[in-house]
Structure 1
């Protein structure tokens, strides 16, 4: 019976060889995934479409571009405080953005999420 070659533990900074195929040494077990408790439920369907229509009729231009002195048509309904970070899914937390501005904001939010998730891996 053949076995896979030993590989280093996938925990950052750990070099212990793992032979069981799990990818983690006994000192660094992988945490079970759980949905965040404070995450807000998303609005979907016709209610969402009505909210988008209302937002774009009130604010047809990208708010970030306007702040920078540019004029660009808004195409994305965005949450100022991301739902994953506890922001509400209502009109108090929405803004109209263009695709490029939304992509920049999403990339920054994603990087924050990655930093948050890796923060638990620091050795004491």
Structure 2
């Protein structure tokens, strides 16, 4: 049975041909995901449910929509500065937000995360 054609290593800037199907040469193995030791502890369960209820009782409308002059009910408890970007899980860093606003904000946060991840490759 024929084998697949060799492909270049998927590490940026590496052109070594890889024949084993992993996509990476021995010099650039894929790093496995590991939670950072400095990652913020997330609130979960009943405590989170209570915090959401208190937030929506206090401020039921989406904060970004209100700033734009719209009246939209909030459905999510959002961290203004994301925990991944060293934000804290405290009341001053939390806002009520609707799902469309959350999607836009999350997309921007993901883009910044990708930039941080690829920045490590440029240093090598």
Q: TM-score by structure 2 length?
A: 0.88
* 2:59 equivalent in structure 1: 59
Q: TM-score, normalised by structure 1?
A: 0.88
Residue number in structure 1 paired with 2:113? 113
- Greater RCO, 1 or 2 (C-alpha within 8 Å, sep 6+): 1
Stretches of structure 1 that go unaligned for 5 or more consecutive residues are none
Runs of 5+ in structure 2 lacking a partner?
none
Question: Bigger shift: 103-112 or 31-40?
Answer: 31-40
Cα distance in 2 for residues equivalent to 1:87 and 1:80: 8
Instruction: Please report the RMSD computed on the Cα atoms of aligned residues, expressed in angstroms.
Output: 1.8
Q: Could you say which residue in structure 1 is the equivalent of 2:72?
A: 72
Q: Which residue does 2:41 correspond to in 1?
A: 41
Q: CA deviation at 1:16?
A: 1.5
User: 1:7 is matched with which residue?
Assistant: 7
Structure 1 contact 38–85 (Cα < 8 Å) conserved: no
Secondary structure of the 2:122 match is coil
SS at match of 1:40: coil
Greater CA deviation, 22-31 or 36-45?
22-31
**Matched residue SS, 1:120:** helix
Q: Please say which of residues 105-114 and 24-33 is displaced more in the overlay.
A: 24-33
* TM superposition shift of 1:94: 0.6
CA distance in 2, matches of 1:111, 1:38: 21
Q: How many residues align?
A: 124
Q: Distance in 2 between matches of 1:114 and 1:88?
A: 21
